Structure 1
Amino acid sequence: MPPYLFPLISMGKMNTQDLSVFKHQALQWANQFEVCCCLDTNGYSSDPYSKYDFLLAAGTAHQLHTQKGNAFEELKSFYNTHADWIFGMLSYELKDELEDLQSGHDNKLGFPDLFFFVPEYLIAVKNGVAEVLIGSAAVLNTISTLPGYNASSYDIPVITPRIGKDAYLYKVEKLRRAIAKGDIYEVTFCQEFFAENAAIDPYQVYRHLNQISPTPFSGFFKIGDKYILSASPERFLCRRGKRLFSQPIKGTARRSSDTGEDMQIKTALYHNSKEQAENVMIVDLVRNDLTKSAVKGSVKVEELFGIYTFPQVHQMISTVSCTISPDVHPVDAVKNTFPIGSMTGAPKVRAMELIEETECSRRGIYSGTLGYFEPGGDFDFNVVIRSILYNESNRYLSFQVGGAITYASSAEAEYEECLLKASAIIKTLKGQ
Structure 2
Amino acid sequence: MTRFSQPSFLIGPPQPLILTLENHGRTAFDLYRSIASSSQPSFLLDSGKGTDRENHYSFLGSNPFSVLTGQQGQAHLRTEEAIEYVSNNPFDGLRRLFDGPQIAPPPGLPSFLGGAIGYFSYDLVRDFEVLPSMAKEDLPIPYLQFGLYDLVTAVDHQTARLHIIFCPPMERFLGESRETLYREGLDRLAEWEVRLSGQPAPLADLPSFDQMAFHPDQTRDAYLNRVRHCQAYISSGDIYQANLSHRFTLQPPSTYNDGTDRQAYEQELYRRLQAVNPSPFSGLIHFDDVTLISSSPERLVRLHNRQADTRPIAGTRPRGLDDRDDQRLIDELLANEKERAEHLMLVDLERNDLGRVCQFGSVQVDEFMAIEQYSHVSHIVSNVSGTLRSDATPFDLIQALFPGGTITGVPKIRCMEIIEELEPVRRGPYTGSFGYIGWNGDLDLNIIIRTLVWCEGKGYLQVGAGIVADSDPAKEYEETIQKAQAFFKALQRT
TM-score by length of 2: 0.81
Per-residue Cα deviation, 1:172-204 (whole angstroms, up to 9, x for no partner): 111111111111000000000113466461111
Gaps in structure 1 of 5+ consecutive residues: 1-6
- Asked if 2 retains the 8 angstrom alpha-carbon contact of 1:13 and 1:137, the reply is no
DSSP-derived class of the 2:35 partner: helix
How far, CA to CA, are the matches of 2:70 and 2:23 in structure 1? 37
Output the CA distance in 1 between the equivalents of 2:270 and 2:429. Answer: 17
Shift of 1:80: 2.2
| Aligned twin of 2:203 | 150
Paired residues of 2:250 and 2:460 also in contact (CA < 8 A): yes
- In structure 2, the residue matched to 1:73 is 92
Q: Flag the 1:209–1:144 CA change in 2: closer, same or farther, 3 A.
A: same
Deviation of 1:120 after TM superposition, in Å, equals 4.8
Aligned length: 421
Are 1:179 and 2:179 matched, yes or no? Answer: no
Query: Which stretch shifts more, 254-263 or 213-222?
Result: 254-263
Instruction: Spell out, residue by residue over 1:81-100, the C-alpha distance to the aligned partner (whole angstroms, 9 max, x if none).
Output: 79552212111001211111
CA drift at 1:152: 2.3
Aligned to 1:63, what secondary structure does the other structure show?
strand
Which range moved further: 180-189 or 354-363? 354-363
Contact 1:189 / 1:359 at 8 angstroms: preserved in 2?
A: yes
Moved more, 56-65 or 407-416: 56-65
Q: CA deviation at 1:431?
A: 4.1
Q: Secondary structure at the match of 1:137?
A: helix
User: Do structure 1's residue 283 and structure 2's residue 352 form an aligned pair?
Assistant: no
Question: Partners of 1:404 and 1:44 in 2: how far apart?
Answer: 29
1:186 counterpart letter in structure 2: Q
CA deviation map 1:248-279 (0-9, x unaligned): 11011111241111122222222222111111
Amino acid at match of 2:19: G
Structure 2 distance, partners of 1:174, 1:361, is 17
Where 2:350 maps in the other structure, the secondary structure is helix
Aligned pair partner of 1:194 in 249, 274, 292: 249
The answer to whether residue 266 in structure 2 is matched with residue 211 in structure 1 is no
What is the aligned partner in structure 2 of residue 226 from structure 1?
290
Correspondence 1:116 to 2:146: yes
Corresponding residue number in structure 1 for 2:47: 41
Question: 1:166 corresponds to which residue?
Answer: 221
CA contact (8 A) 1:96 1:102 kept: no
Percent identical residues: 31
Q: Secondary structure at the match of 1:138?
A: helix
Match of 1:410 in 2: 472
Q: Give the whole-Å Cα distance in 2 for the aligned partners of 1:9 and 1:285.
A: 44
Aligned position for 1:256: 320
**What residue is the counterpart of 1:309 in the other structure?**
373
Distance 1:107 1:82, change over 3 A: farther
1:262-306 CA-to-partner distances (Å, cap 9, x unmatched) read 122222222222111111111111111111111112211111211
Q: Distance in 1 between matches of 2:286 and 2:424?
A: 26
For 2:151 and 2:488, how far apart are their aligned partners in 1?
33
Task: Give the SS at the match of 1:220.
Answer: strand
Q: CA deviation at 1:32?
A: 4.2
Q: SS of 1:372's equivalent?
A: strand
Q: Is the 8 A contact 1:28 1:203 kept in 2?
A: no
Distance (Å, rounded) in 2 between the aligned partners of 1:171 and 1:231:
27
Partner of 1:4: none
One-letter identity of the residue aligned with 1:36:
S
Give the Cα–Cα distance (whole angstroms) in 2 for the partners of residues 8 and 373 of structure 1: 24
Structure 1: how far apart are the matches of 2:151 and 2:38? 13
RMSD: 2.1
Q: What CA distance in whole angstroms lies between the structure 2 residues aligned with 1:429 and 1:346?
A: 35
Deviation digits for residues 294-321 of structure 1 (CA, Å, limit 9, x no counterpart): 1112211111211111111111111111
Give secondary structure in 2 for the equivalent of 1:110. coil
Larger Rg, first or second structure (1 or 2): 2
The answer for the alignment partner of 1:400 in structure 2 is 462
**Cα offset, 1:211, TM superposition:** 1.1
Deviation at 1:34, TM superposition (A): 1.4
Cα pair distance change 1:109/1:353, threshold 3 Å: same
The SS at the match of 2:205 is coil
Report how far residue 46 of structure 1 moved. 4.3
In structure 2, runs of 5+ residues without a counterpart are 5-17, 74-88, 103-113, 167-187, 257-261
Aligned: 1:237 with 2:301: yes
Distance in 2 between residues matched to 1:137 and 1:428, nearest whole Å: 37
For the 8 Å contact 1:162–1:360, the answer to whether it is kept is: no
Tell whether 2:31 aligns with 1:12.
Answer: no
Taking the aligned partners of 2:213 and 2:323, their CA distance within structure 1 comes to 34
**Which residue of 116, 122, 126 corresponds with 1:96?**
126
CA deviation digits over 1:155-178, x for unaligned, max 9?
643422111111111111111111
Q: Which residue of 2 aligns with 1:132?
A: 164
3-state SS of paired residue (2:431)? coil
- C-alpha displacement at 1:117, in angstroms? 1.9
The letter for the 1-side match of 2:45 is L
TM-score, length-normalised on structure 1? Answer: 0.92
